[in-house]
Chain A
Amino acid sequence: MFDDFFIRALIAGLGIALVTGPLGCFVVWRRLSYFGDTLAHSALLGVTLAYSFELNIALSVFIISSLIALILIQLQKKTNLPGDALLGLLAHSSLAVGLVVIGFLTFIRFDIMGLLFGDILAVTTDDLLIIWTGGALILLVLKLIWKPLFASTVNYELAEAEGLNPDRAKAVFTILMAAVIAISIKMVGLLLITGMLIIPAAMARNISDSPQKMVLFSIIGGLLSVLVGLFSSLEFNTSSGPSIIAASLVLFILSLFKIKQSIKLKN
């Protein structure tokens, strides 16, 4: 069954959507979309590293993204620059360095489009294993840190005062972000991963009145986007990443009608 590239892509995509759903909610709640972008851009460096030293792509992307997150935390402590400037600095410089390194690696033929926008043909059986075991691990850890992470998202001081250790939860969450980018880079592409995190969650926000519902709808939205996106990618021969993101955008637009209704009801 896994012989068919499309089946592989579907299984990979659905696995990714299960993980990006809940994580994406936290990205929206904690205003981390630009942070997600920065980690994703730095993933290119991870990919070049993987090719140069023949490492597993997911593993080297995970290492480089975590490293960039660490550098960011250090820069935030040591400099007076605002957070968004530091994020921009790291995002663009790591992307640039990644592209320069690719220029030097003339002996390897890179599919730049595939790296940036995702390529369903590239998903191997090994990737499926990485996505599903990695994804399960990410969800398990997220479940473990859910209480302190969520409480400190609502109010840091309450969480700290009542003994939940929000700083540790935040650090663990940063690692989870790097991990989700690592497992989804082949499929969605590094320019669009943040979209996969944010758009289903944003759609879910429009139609939910509790955090649990938002997580649930975010997962459902992600799964639907992957299904619709991949089938249309096959049909119209478009890149997988943009097709999935475009599908999620359609869902987001549909969710706007629900908001209009509830506002009308209130008035």
Chain B
Amino acid sequence: MSSENSTLVKLNNAGFKQNDKWLVEGVSLTVEKGKIVTLIGPNGSGKSTTAKIALGIYKNIEGSVEKYTNKVGYVPQKISIDWTLPLRVYDFMLLTENIKDEAIDEALTLTGVIHLKNKNLGNLSGGEFQRVLIARAISKKPELLVLDEPVQGVDYTGEIALYELIKRISDTLNCGILLISHDLHTVMTATDHVVCLNGHVCCSGSPMDVAKNNEYKTLFGEQASQILSVYEHKHDHVHSDKGEIKKN
């Protein structure tokens, strides 16, 4: 498979300026089929902005975005829904595409919220709503999945299960995933490539490379580098120099 036709979205030196202030600049990254790219960085480092540039939500950007697919699933970080709308979970699942009932049930079952199918969206808890958002994005069987802090508000065990689910989806659907997280530790095993942002790309590479990187350590403090030791004891595989995971 040549790298050209497996590319889903490619950012070339992309940036976005709002009210004369750069939200993010000089970002280059590529999301390919079956690969998970993770954006990490502190608050205000431009992670969500980068995702929105990749999605084409921001129009007047610097640099360029090449998007090779229209089958996109998006879980935004913040979503404000106006409750003047009577909207059930079921209606929300059909929001951007007409999906078969079986696909809806399947997605809601995978994220563990099938029992909420006919509930009003306004009555859900934060964690429940987050699971519905993920279900909606995957039920479309997208080629590109953009997940902006997808597990916020979800309890810890649920968080791990959801990341495993995301990994499984990337494998079974062979879709590319752009994942945003503020916590490298939890996403490390499920990531092929990490881009660490702080208004610009401060470092990037395999999860191991980034965790070892000095700039990453300064950005996240010494504590962050401790995850490396935890991580190193946990894994059952080695990494190739390209960051690909090989089972032992």
Q: Give Cα A208–Cα B86 distance, bound, in whole angstroms.
A: 7
Most buried by A among B56, B70, B85, B120: B85
Known: A29-B82, A158-B76. A210 touches B88 (CB 8 A): yes
Which residues of chain B are within 8 angstroms of A54 by Cβ–Cβ distance? none
Which residues of chain A are within 8 angstroms of B81 by Cβ–Cβ distance? 154-155
- CB of A85 closer than 8 Å to a CB of B: no
B104 to chain A, nearest CB (A): 15
- CB of B24 closer than 8 Å to a CB of A: no
Contact indicator A154/B87 (Cβ below 8 Å)? yes
Contact indicator A158/B95 (Cβ below 8 Å)? yes
Q: Give Cα A31–Cα B82 distance, bound, in whole angstroms.
A: 10
Contact indicator A209/B120 (Cβ below 8 Å)? yes
A169 to chain B, nearest CB (A): 12
Which residues of chain A are within 8 angstroms of B96 by Cβ–Cβ distance? 147, 151, 158-159, 162, 164
Q: How large is the interface on B (under 10, 10 to 19, 20 to 34, 35 or more residues)?
A: 20 to 34
- CB of A214 closer than 8 Å to a CB of B: yes
Convert B53-71 into 0s and 1s, putting 1 for each residue whose CB lies closer than 8 angstroms to a CB of A. Answer: 0011100000000000010
- CB of B72 closer than 8 Å to a CB of A: yes
A212 to chain B, nearest CB (A): 8
Q: Give Cα A163–Cα B84 distance, bound, in whole angstroms.
A: 25
- Residues of A124-171 whose CB lies within 8 A of B: 147, 150-151, 153-155, 157-164
- Residues of B76-112 whose CB lies within 8 A of A: 76, 79-82, 84-88, 90-92, 95-97
Convert A17-32 into 0s and 1s, putting 1 for each residue whose CB lies closer than 8 angstroms to a CB of B. Answer: 0000000000011010
Contact indicator A211/B86 (Cβ below 8 Å)? yes
Chain A: interface residue total (CB-CB under 8 A): 25
Q: Give Cα A162–Cα B52 distance, bound, in whole angstroms.
A: 11
- CB of A205 closer than 8 Å to a CB of B: yes
Which residues of chain A are within 8 angstroms of B73 by Cβ–Cβ distance? 162
- CB of B74 closer than 8 Å to a CB of A: yes
Contact indicator A28/B72 (Cβ below 8 Å)? no
Contact indicator B76/A155 (Cβ below 8 Å)? yes
Nearest residue (CB) in A for B88 is A210
Most buried by A among B86, B87, B88, B140: B86
Nearest residue (CB) in A for B95 is A151
Nearest residue (CB) in A for B121 is A154
Contact indicator B57/A160 (Cβ below 8 Å)? yes
Contact indicator B84/A29 (Cβ below 8 Å)? yes
Which residues of chain B are within 8 angstroms of A150 by Cβ–Cβ distance? 95
Q: Supply 6 A–B pairs (Cβ within 8 Å), ascending by A.
A: A154-B82, A157-B52, A157-B55, A158-B74, A162-B74, A208-B86
